[in-house]
Amino acid sequence: MPSYTKQGSSYERDMDYIPDRITQEPGRSQDRYDDARLDVRTWPVEPGRYRLVAARACPWANRSIIVRRLLGLEDVISMGLAGPTHDERSWTFDLDPGGRDPVLGYERLQEAYLARYPDYDKGITVPAVVEVASGQVVTNDFPWITHDLFFEWRDHHRPDAPDLWPDDCRAEMEEVMERVFTEVNNGVYRCGFAGTQDAYDEAYDQLWTAMDWLEERLTDRRYLMGEHITEADVRLFTTLARFDAVYHGHFKCNRNKLTEMPALWGYARDLFQTPGFGDTIDFDQIKRHYYVVHEDINPSGIVPKGPERESWLSPHSRARLGPPR
């Protein structure tokens, strides 16, 4: 889960990540960053060299789990899963026997960060890519992780992998993803962590303006960019999957439920029932993370029982808007 910093009465996402990338042409990278604090470089694409550390509870990590699955990279990049709860130090591997990741041997993801940067003092976030041999973190820059899984690992995709970044709508897709990130993905957090009524009201209004825009956009198109699934759908889905279970109540995003928006709810179920999406979702872990970790919002630590998973499996009738997947 990315960390946050408080800007006055509002909470904003801390986007200061380890900026390294894994590319087909590795070498020193000076084009995107000029950061003297970190050894900024690119790493080579090499099957078996890296381990994706994620958590099913975290929407930002959930993106990388979905993209890895859609592209068929399971045998190329291994994956370790942290448990849904953590303390201020780090995500932990408490789901694994003995509480250690079976490949890295770590109890805490923090160990991979400190293996590379002994004085690392920023958030220990998921997703993170770790080099298996050295046990060192490579990057935790979540938008670029999924971007590079598509563009840089193409030689290792399954033959029928979806085109998540289609050329013919790339510019529009970037605009859609930026608005989804700012007003929806991050918008729910700005509601939940608002420090004043005014900050909350502003975030709430922006969120629901965007949700209404999405409802209208998805009324006559199957996916955000038309007839085929793209990276934009992955990024929106992970927020929608958590909306009624967490954000509606826990983050006070309660104008209405997702289930009360016909197009968005049908769209979310359509994706959920698509291999690679719903099979990455664990509602119990999601709820345990938010309701247990956020003690300032939910001091009792009580985790709600609903809503039921079965509703996500109901017919959605979205196929009429596009060709078979």
State the alpha helices, DSSP H only, in 152-282. Answer: 170-179, 187-192, 197-217, 231-242, 262-272
pLDDT digits (tens, 9 = 90+) for 281-318: 999 999 999 999 999 999 999 999 999 999 999 999 99
Could you confirm whether 58 is annotated as catalytic? Answer: yes
Q: Percent of the chain scored above 90 by pLDDT?
A: 88
Counting every residue written for the chain, the total comes to 325
pLDDT digits (tens, 9 = 90+) for 174-204: 999 999 999 999 999 999 999 999 999 999 9
Which of residues 147 and 41 earns the better pLDDT score? Answer: 147
> Average per-residue pLDDT in the chain?
93
Find tokens 């976030």 and name the residue. 125
Residue-wise over 169-195: b if at least 16 C-beta within 10 A, else e? beeebeebbebbbebbbbbbbbbbbbe
Q: Report the SS3 class of residue 108.
A: strand
Q: Which of 58, 113, 223, 290 is catalytic?
A: 58
Could you confirm whether 267 is annotated as catalytic? Answer: no
Q: Which of 17, 113, 189, 290 is catalytic?
A: 189
DSSP code of residue 107: S
Q: Does the predicted model carry a pTM greater than 0.85? A: yes
In the chain, the domains with their CATH numbers are 4-156 (3.40.30.10), 167-321 (1.20.1050.10)
**If DSSP states are collapsed to H, E and C, what string results for 132-189?**
CCCCEEEECCHHHHHHHHHHCCHHHCCCCCCCCCCHHHHHHHHHHHHHHHHHHHCHHH
pLDDT digits (tens, 9 = 90+) for 202-238: 999 999 999 999 999 999 999 999 999 999 999 999 9
Contact 188, 13 (CB under 8 A): no
Which of residues 41 and 5 earns the better pLDDT score? Answer: 41
pLDDT digits (tens, 9 = 90+) for 63-80: 999 999 999 999 999 999
